[in-house]
A = this chain, B = another copy of it.
Amino acid sequence: MSFKPISEIGEFGLIERLSRIAAPTLKNKPALVEGIGDDCAVYRTGGTSVQVSTTDLLVEQVHFDLLTTPMHHLGSKAISVNVSDVCAMNALPEYALISIAVPKNLPVEMVEQLYAGMAHAASRYGLAIAGGDTSSSPSGLVISVTMTGQAPEERLAYRKGARPGEMVCVSGTLGGSAAGLKLLMRERSIMIDLLRNNETYDKDVMAELQEYSEAIRCHLLPEARIDMVRFFQEAGIVPTAMIDVSDGLTADLRHICRRSGVGAHIDEGRIPILAQARTIADEFQDDAVAWALGGGEDYQLLFTLPKERYDDIAGNREISVIGEILPEEEGMLLTDIFGMTIDLEESAGGFDHFGEQ
């Protein structure tokens, strides 16, 4: 028997194989509306609303680095990324269960800071931390957050549901998280060099980070767009398809296209890029649009709406229309600012935990 390392099939390949194994269990619960394959699972409990639930794992050295991540921020982010998945269903978050595996030598005070960040974020989003589990960890810190939320069933937005001719929309700006991460990674290597040479950390370098605080904030303290869910509610809008931008615009648009059985065309010039991300990209001689397409972790909402609903969103400056849904056979296309059309299916995009980095 030959064994295949996970890196050979990648994260999405692994998820596909595991989903196939878990799929037969779905029929055990007829009240399950949506199983594996969307931002949240959806199930009926007999009330007027349905329940949605999601879970996210944050692993030290994979998702975060304690040298550049304050514990309070990390706690807040662990909550926000799960709220973002609940919002991507057009639902509101209710309860979080939190598990942590903690290295024995980590000071209690740091774990308390982590929880303070979680509790602060939870109250801001109006949800309750209802339980959890703790364990020691032989190596790094691991955080697992599971969140449930609710929405009237007719208000739910799935990844499936986009139809040709509809608008592709995105909230806020993109590219900020990748830009912030670039800065933090550069800072990290400076810090490590200084530590190695027994020198102290230069405050002047911090001053430059201050200047780019918006991008760093996008990475360390992302905000889930619960305000958009409330806007949809007030405007009487239900997106025909929705996802949160966690893997990058290309990969997340691909999720909508695959699940909806459609293609899409987006216009580079209309992608809302964080202004600071452009400045930082210039400094790194990199491309902020590439960060928006492939960087991920922006936690904005990417959604589709029939063109007839344009007037309902036109007044909301937080929403950009960046393209249009196409029939499946036309594929996923991007027209760049020079008018060149690129096939997004062939371009790289999205973060693979098991890929070579």
| Chain A contact residues, CB within 8 Å of chain B | 1, 3-9, 11, 14-15, 17-18, 21-22, 24-29, 31-32, 35-36, 40-41, 43, 45-49, 51, 53-57, 59-63, 94-95, 97-102, 104-112, 115-116, 118-119, 122-123, 126-140, 142, 144, 146, 148, 150, 353-354
Contact = CB atoms under 8 A, between A and B. Distances in A.
A57 B97 contact: no
Contact of A55 (B1, B11, B97): B97
Nearest to A109: B3
A127 B22 contact: no
B35 A99 contact: no
B28 A99 contact: no
23 contacts: A1-B109, A4-B108, A4-B109, A7-B104, A28-B122, A28-B123, A28-B128, A29-B128, A32-B128, A36-B132, A47-B47, A51-B148, A53-B97, A55-B131, A55-B133, A57-B100, A57-B133, A59-B137, A62-B137, A97-B146, A134-B353, A139-B139, A146-B146
B139 A62 contact: no
A129 B37 CA distance: 12
Contacts of A60: 138
Number of copies: 2
A62 B138 contact: yes
Among the interface residues A110, A131, A133, which one has the most CB atoms of the partner chain B within 10 A?
A131
A53 B130 contact: yes
A94 B43 contact: yes
A32 B102 CA distance: 28
Nearest to A56: B133
Given A22-B118, A36-B130, A112-B18, A136 B59 contact: yes
B138 A95 contact: no
A111 B20 CA distance: 13
A36 B107 contact: no
Most chain B C-beta atoms within 10 Å of own C-beta, residue among A35, A111, A130: A130
A58 to B, nearest CB: 8
B104 A41 contact: no
Contacts of A108: 3-6, 8-9, 14, 17
A104 B354 contact: yes
Contacts of A22: 98, 115, 118-119, 122, 129, 132
Contacts of A102: 6, 14
A107 B45 contact: no
A61 B115 contact: no
Nearest to A132: B55
A276 to B, nearest CB: 28
